[in-house]
Amino acid sequence: MSHEIIEKERDRIAPQFFGATGTKHESRYQRGLKVLNRLDGEAARRLIETLQEVSPDFARYLVEFPFGDIFSRPALDLKSREIAVLAALTTLGSATPQLKLDIAAALNAGCTREEVLEVIMQMAVYAGFPAALNGMLAAKEVFQERDRGRPGAEAQAQGTKSSLGETA
């Protein structure tokens, strides 16, 4: 398959990624913000603002690629994507703040608390009991925060209270 074919293939499969159709020219960044807002607008906004203070480019990539490109693909629903994310982050073990953000996001995407716990519990089989145990304790914290009326995990975000959530 030659380079020309590569180019054609790309156009055939995903013309919408290159600004041709639909709501016309919606950028990857805009698409990413929409997904983030649906998952956990307030927490995502704070995280992005915190990141922008150290690396605005990385903050942009974080919106564009994971959320603008991957999460917004129609072939898998958001709830299933969050199940995959909970499994991955519990397995990694070293990303507890992100796990807490995504436990909240999973709940916002339609997972029940019970389903969140099932996914984390299942990781005892694949990543070991310590990883699952830490995931369980992270879930407990997120549930408690929500029961107290506060939005999900806020561990990594310390920013101003601007309007990203509303305007995106």
The footprint of its own copies on residues 91-110 (CB under 8 A) is 91-95, 97-98
**SS3 at position 40:** helix
Taking the complex as a whole, how short is the minimal distance between the CB of residue 91 and its own copies, in angstroms? Answer: 5
| DSSP code for 166 | H
**Binding flags for its own copies, 34-73, as an x/- string (CB under 8 A):** -----------x-xxxxxxxxxxxxxxxx--xx--xxx-x
Q: Which of 38, 42, 88, 146 binds its own copies (CB under 8 A)?
A: 88
Q: Which residues contact 163 (CB under 8 A, 6 or more apart)?
A: none
Taking the complex as a whole, how short is the minimal distance between the CB of residue 26 and its own copies, in angstroms? Answer: 8
Element (DSSP H or E) covering residue 58: helix 56-62
**Binding flags for its own copies, 121-160, as an x/- string (CB under 8 A):** xxxxxxxxxxxxxx-xx-xx--x------------x--xx
Tokens of 90: 């519990």
Tokens of 60: 């942009």
| DSSP code for 19 | T
Taking the complex as a whole, how short is the minimal distance between the CB of residue 71 and its own copies, in angstroms? Answer: 8
